[in-house]
Amino acid sequence: MARYEIYVTYKQGIFDPPGATAERALKNLGYEGVEEVKIGKFIRMSADATEASVAEMCDKLLANPVIEDYRIEIVEGD
């Protein structure tokens, strides 16, 4: 059993609506120093699976490879 952390982010140049909304909202709240906000997914998984298999899960279901990048980190091995 391994624990994985997966970071899913929009690819460079892809518009990020939740991030843009948060950015505007923070500025409206008075946080003028906010420059850019990007919101992605932080997935934690416990699985009896190899990293290659987790990458496959990302491609098939957890991320949209057309518009998103992902990075997989093994937090804890067997």
**b/e 7-19 (16+ beta carbons within 10 angstroms → b):** ebbbeeeeebeeb
Total residues in contact with a copy of itself, by rule CB under 8 A: 32
Q: Of 20, 34, 55, 72, which lies in the binding site for a copy of itself, with binding defined by CB under 8 A?
A: 34
Q: Does 72 bind a copy of itself (CB under 8 A)?
A: no
CB of 14 to a copy of itself, least distance (A): 14
- Tell me 64's DSSP state: -
Q: Does 62 bind a copy of itself (CB under 8 A)?
A: yes
Q: Of 12, 13, 15, 42, which lies in the binding site for a copy of itself, with binding defined by CB under 8 A?
A: 42
